[in-house]
Amino acid sequence: MRNLADLKGPYRFIMIIVKNIDALQRHLDKARANGNIGFVPTMGALHEGHLELIRTCRKENVQTIASIFVNPAQFNDPTDFQKYPVTIEKDILLLEKEECQLLFLPPVEVIYPHGFKGTAYFDLGDLDKILEGRFRPGHFQGVCKVVNRLLDIVQPTRLYLGQKDFQQCMVIQKLIELTKKNTVVRVCPTKRESDGLAMSSRNVRLSESQRKTAPLIHNTLLRAKRQIKKGSLLMIKQERTAILSEAGFRPDYFEFASLRDLAIKDTWDGEEKLVALVAAYLGEVRLIDNMIIN
Ligand code: AMP
């Protein structure tokens, strides 16, 4: 019998891809017996930000499971859903390169056997009414629907999310508390391009000139972090919004919020832990970013 290490030639990791729950459960039963399961849910069109989540998950768990599912329930804008980039073959190769053990790739009827417009409602308090929730009504209820379903199916030990979607991380943490799940949330830092632009699947929809303007969104956060001082925050918010508008953005918001509960802050006592959050359109593409201030 030959030793694996003696085998010559290229080594290729083979990832298991499953599309239905029965096949997934069979693999999960075996995987669970071997150790912790880490889960990285995505909507595909993978970039380095997603791959960093996979790498962190691989380091911290015996089994890494990714999912790709473009969730129709979380798109408040039908055009955004239709234009969402799909690059599934490339995604599979990228995941295999990272040695992700299993990809769950369900069709919509597996996730929503009764349709995605059902009446399930998650009481998130103010969390889904402010910031993104205010400008994208129903978005976080849609996120909760899909994450709740995926967590019920996969039942991972740990769930890997990106700080890029700061409010989403808080919403999912709240969902886990509400539904009394055992999964631990791990939030990983935002991965950026060399000019500071937060990586996003939607960035490919920016034109060449919009792509050059886009890093201003990150710069405006950096500037706010340097500018902030005890007292009123209104001047900074207005100034940052005006700078984005002058550069051709259509800002939805530039806000400071408490790191603890995301309550919007107009004044600062110089002590409370804050995060600055921004959302703005550049042409048809909506960009979001955030930065922890202190
Ligand atoms: P999405 O495919 O956009 O739904 O994102 C899937 C996961 O990747 C979410 O937890 C996102 O927060 C995370 N993510 C997206 N972009 C980045 C990034 N630039 N850096 C780190 N995580 C990210």
- How confident is the model at residue 118, as a pLDDT? 78
Looking at the structure, tell me whether residues 142 and 279 fall in a common domain: no
193 occurs within a structural domain: no
Residues 125 and 242 in one domain: no
Tens of pLDDT, residues 211-239: 999 999 999 999 999 999 999 999 999 99
Measuring from each residue's beta carbon to the nearest atom of ligand 1, which residues come in under 6 Å? 42-43, 49-50, 52-53, 161-162, 164-165, 188, 190-191, 198-201
- What is the atom index within ligand 1 of the atom nearest the CA of 198? 19
Tell me the mean pLDDT in the region 187-216.
98
Same domain (yes/no): 133, 273: no
Q: Where a domain ends, among 188, 210, 235?
A: 188
Nearest alpha carbon, ligand 1 atom 7? 42
Give which of 14, 35, 31, 12 is closest to 23, Cα–Cα: 31
**Which segments within 230-293 are labelled E, that is strand?**
231-232, 250-258, 264-265, 267-268, 274-282, 285-292
Q: How far is CA 11 from CA 58, 66, 133, 165, 274, in A?
A: 19, 22, 46, 36, 47
Selecting among 50, 114, 139, 218, the annotated active-site residue is 50
Q: Please calculate the CA angle 241-124-270 and round it to the nearest 5 degrees.
A: 45
Count the residues in the chain: 294
Q: Average of pLDDT values for 63-78?
A: 96
Distance CA 43, CA 38 (A): 17
The alpha carbon dihedral of 40, 44, 49, 55 has a sign of positive
Residues 110, 18, single domain; the answer is yes
pTM of the model: 0.95
122 and 214 together in one domain: no
Residue 194: pLDDT over 50: yes
**Boundary-marking domain end, from 153, 188, 223:** 188
Distance from C-alpha of 174 to C-alpha of 264, rounded to nearest angstrom: 18
275 and 248 fall within a common domain: yes
CATH number at residue 14: 3.40.50.620
Q: Whose CA is nearest to atom 14 of ligand 1?
A: 162
Residue 216 sits in a domain whose CATH number is 3.30.1300.10
Q: What percent of the chain has pLDDT over 70?
A: 96
Task: Please indicate whether residue 218 is annotated as part of the active site.
Answer: no
206 in the same domain as 126? no
Range of the domain at 228: 201-292
DSSP letters, 183-211, are: PEEEEEPPPB-TTSPBP-GGGGGS-HHHH
Q: What tokens were used for 270?
A: 């110089």
Which pLDDT score is estimated for 2? 44
Residue 22 sits in the same domain as residue 114: yes
For residue 152, being part of any structural domain is answered with: yes
Q: Let me know if residue 195 belongs to a domain.
A: no
161 C-alpha to ligand 1 centroid (Å): 7
Q: Say how many Å lie between the CA of residue 49 and the centre of ligand 1.
A: 6
pLDDT of 6 > 60? The answer is: no
> Closest residue (by CA) to atom 11 of ligand 1?
162
Both 12 and 99 in a single domain? yes
- CA nearest to 38, candidates 14, 67, 6, 73: 67
Domain count, the chain: 2
Chosen domain end from 140, 164, 188: 188
Cα–Cα dist 252/288, whole Å: 10
Residue 90 Cα to ligand 1 middle (Å):
17
CA dist., res. 174 & res. 123, Å (int)? 9
How confident is the model over 107-157, as pLDDT tens digits?
999 999 999 887 789 999 999 999 999 999 999 999 999 999 999 999 999
